[in-house]
Structure 1
């Protein structure tokens, strides 16, 4: 009887976690639902050979400048989802990102994981504080928000939308797991083996072992260029989609 009760309890807890969305990878029907409303972007399928590289958790005083140098070398642009409290420490790097034509996007102020227990007030504060930091340092605004860990739910989406943001995640086949330090070849292979038009690639410029990401880019960037891909910001990717949609309507 005791064993049966424990089994029932475990099943109930698991069911509750699934229902409340305590996961950073939502159920398949959730993706379709949010994509259809244009509230979460994972990728932008298209015929043109465009890919958006994105870098989370920076800026980093060592690896971010190295990444910027490599991007410049290959005439590539990227979107940096930055942490507010790190921007405050390294504002000159953020200014360099913006000056060189890259996109500085919102990744919260303190890298808080927005599990269902996190209040709307906390979510709002994290978004707004980071937004203010970006605007103060770059004199620019950006409409993309990436919740740490990819944790999203209706509260997160509503909070982002109320401040003019769209939630941007990444192509599921382009999560490089570079934060796990899997090795330079593993990171590069994940990107190159799965490269598709309209991909949004997840990388990090401030994690343990970020040097692997830097070294992997030395393989990724020239190879993608050789394949004819143009590396663009998320905004450029989305604008291309809107432009094509407008053209299709006219035709």
Structure 2
């Protein structure tokens, strides 16, 4: 019994206080569930396009040290990205969010407080989305339309709540989990991205929540390699627009 309680406690710790997980680790069921949610037209992992485009996404910012370095690297390659910001942090560092918007990046919703448990209550999640949305709109002048759940965990209640609030739910390509939060080394982060890049990939990084030196270093290499391979980096919303234009009308 004690062993079972200890194991349960460790699992709860990882979910509530640990680092973000890939879908299989976060408790989200497999591709069967994914297929079901994709058919709603509001939940996305990959976004198929017929051009060599990918979406770089950054979670948990803004951060006063690392987000600026990431913006500098993106600017060097005229790359655009989507920043899933925590509303509380956006309010704390408004100039960084304003810079993101000013330089053509997309600012999206990643809840206000980044408390995992809030996702288990539709009422709490609704308030979190609305509070974060208010901050983003005040700083950027537009209302965010994309939401990424904490740690990538989703279920019917989370999706239904987000959609009712006017959001599309954005996860990430299963083969593009950089795991930069685990600090595997810049070269490993680069390998995780470059080894299997495909048009329409949604790639996840983190610009806050710890020392992101490896992420910054890896990003500079990734951008150089991608552009040499003919890829361009755009926002998630741009991928969605291009994907919808690319699909036959019967499938939109």
Count of aligned positions: 230
- Contact between 2:118 and 2:124, CA under 8 Å: does it hold in 1? no
* Deviation for aligned residue 1:169: 0.4
- The one of 207, 214, 236 equivalent to 2:209 is 207
Please identify, of 98-107 and 123-132, the stretch whose mean Cα deviation from structure 2 is larger.
123-132
Q: Which protein shows a greater Rg?
A: 1
- 1:57-206 alignment runs, 5 A limit: 57-114=60-117, 118-206=120-208
* Deviation for aligned residue 1:25: 2.9
- Alpha-carbon displacement from aligned partner over 1:122-176 (angstroms, at most 9, x marks no partner): 1111111111110011111121100110111111011101110010000011010
Distance change >3 Å, CA 27–CA 74, structure 1 → 2: same
Matched residues in 2 for 1:93 and 1:205: separation? 12
Aligned to 1:16: none
* Deviation for aligned residue 1:23: 4.0
Please identify, of 42-51 and 213-222, the stretch whose mean Cα deviation from structure 2 is larger.
42-51
Matched residues in 2 for 1:158 and 1:203: separation? 26
Name structure 2 gaps, 5 residues minimum.
Answer: 9-23
Tell me, what secondary structure is at the counterpart of 2:163?
helix
* Deviation for aligned residue 1:51: 0.2
Matched residues in 2 for 1:179 and 1:81: separation? 15
- Contact between 2:59 and 2:204, CA under 8 Å: does it hold in 1? yes
- Alpha-carbon displacement from aligned partner over 1:23-49 (angstroms, at most 9, x marks no partner): 443232110001111121001123310
Aligned to 1:39: 42
- Contact between 1:114 and 1:147, CA under 8 Å: does it hold in 2? no
Name structure 1 gaps, 5 residues minimum.
Answer: 11-20
* Deviation for aligned residue 1:22: 9.8
Matched residues in 2 for 1:173 and 1:223: separation? 18
Tell me, what secondary structure is at the counterpart of 1:203?
strand
Aligned to 2:16: none
- Contact between 1:47 and 1:197, CA under 8 Å: does it hold in 2? yes
Matched residues in 2 for 1:129 and 1:123: separation? 10
Matched residues in 1 for 2:107 and 2:232: separation? 19
**Which runs of structure 1 show a deviation greater than 6 angstroms over 4 or more consecutive aligned residues?**
none
* Deviation for aligned residue 1:216: 0.3
- Alpha-carbon displacement from aligned partner over 1:98-132 (angstroms, at most 9, x marks no partner): 0000000000001122587x211111111111111
TM-score by length of 2: 0.87
Distance change >3 Å, CA 24–CA 40, structure 1 → 2: farther
Matched residues in 1 for 2:48 and 2:28: separation? 20
Matched residues in 2 for 1:23 and 1:67: separation? 27
Aligned to 1:233: 235
